[in-house]
Amino acid sequence: MRQRRTLDNGEGSSKVGHGRVSLREERRPRAQAVARDQALSASPEVDVRVVLFTVAGGQLRVALPRDGDDVRLPRGTLLPNQALDSEARRIVRDTIGFEEQYAEQLYTLSLQEPSGWVLIISYLGLITDSSDGASSRSDLWYPVDRLPKVVAIDRMVIEYALLRLRAKLGYTTIAFHLLRPTFTLSELQATYQAILGRPLDKRNFRRRVVAAGFLEATGDQHREGSHRPALLYRFRAAHDRETYLTPAWSTDA
């Protein structure tokens, strides 16, 4: 049977046999495809921010370099064909002049700016307190319990980094990345207390860390003032502080 095709200008539809298809519906997939292509061509800016922690003067501190009259998290814009981890390490070097002891990708969030969408990829980094006092500079390092005024996004990222660090104390040895290669049990406890923001019972703490089996005595001692010399410990070789919790391939990025 021969089909009859007519165009109904009043309704804006085409009719084939007994079926009716709106021209608007025919155009819709094409318009959606155009909108999708435009969205893909307008790639969001990728902003990398690093939350750098250290323990100095018995306090957990975060690096907030000055930007004019304000302070903010160390950051950088990811360039095309650039690896994320490489950019994070560059930001650390530019901020403190040397590499971190530990770094991990923390969280990714999106932010709508007047210029378009921005992806913020945050990192958590840890460094050891330097002997020259560089990590206690008041113009760069601020106690986490007395942060200066920062933008809301930076504060949110810092708070989440602190939450992640505290949570990992319970099932990893991440705190060792904030310590020198050899340390006393008192220094280890002070580091845990600085991270947690509360005191710990000395006897219970020592019993637990010794029982965990990740410490070994060096045979050396350290004296502070008139106190009795304290034994020095180190991270056991089986728990390599350079690679623990960090994939081996990440150092090649």
Confidence bin at 214 (pLDDT 50/70/90): confident
Distances in Å between the Cα of 9 and the Cα atoms of 14, 23, 30, 88 are: 9, 10, 21, 60
Confidence bin at 35 (pLDDT 50/70/90): low
Distances in Å between the Cα of 204 and the Cα atoms of 118, 172, 188, 251 are: 47, 18, 13, 37
**Each residue's pLDDT tens digit, 99-149:** 888 999 999 988 887 777 889 999 999 999 864 555 557 789 999 999 999
**Mean pLDDT along residues 173-202:** 94
Q: pLDDT higher for 225 or 102?
A: 102
Q: pLDDT higher for 79 or 159?
A: 159
H helices of the chain, where? 23-41, 84-96, 152-168, 185-196, 202-212
Q: pLDDT higher for 199 or 238?
A: 199
CATH 3.90.1300.10 fits 45-252, yes or no: no
| 97 backbone φψ class: left, alpha, beta (φ>0; ψ -120 to 50) | left
Q: What is the pTM of this model?
A: 0.76
**Each residue's pLDDT tens digit, 36-67:** 655 555 678 899 999 999 999 899 999 999 98
What angle (nearest 5°) sits at the alpha carbon of residue 21, between those of residues 20 and 27? 165
CB 49 within 8 A of CB 111: no
Q: Cβ neighbours of residue 233 under 8 Å, at least 6 residues apart?
A: 182, 183, 184, 185, 188, 215, 216, 217, 218
Provide the pLDDT for residue 223: 75
Tokens of 252: 């090649």
Average pLDDT, the chain: 81
Q: How many whole angstroms separate alpha carbon 211 and alpha carbon 160?
A: 30
Residue 171 scores a pLDDT above 60: yes
Provide the pLDDT for residue 16: 47
Show me where the domains of the chain are located: 5-41, 45-252
Pairing of strands 102-113, 19-22: unpaired
Q: Give the bridge partners for 120, in sequence order.
A: 47, 109
Residue 1 scores a pLDDT above 60: no
Residue 19 scores a pLDDT above 50: yes
Confidence bin at 164 (pLDDT 50/70/90): very high
Provide the pLDDT for residue 8: 47
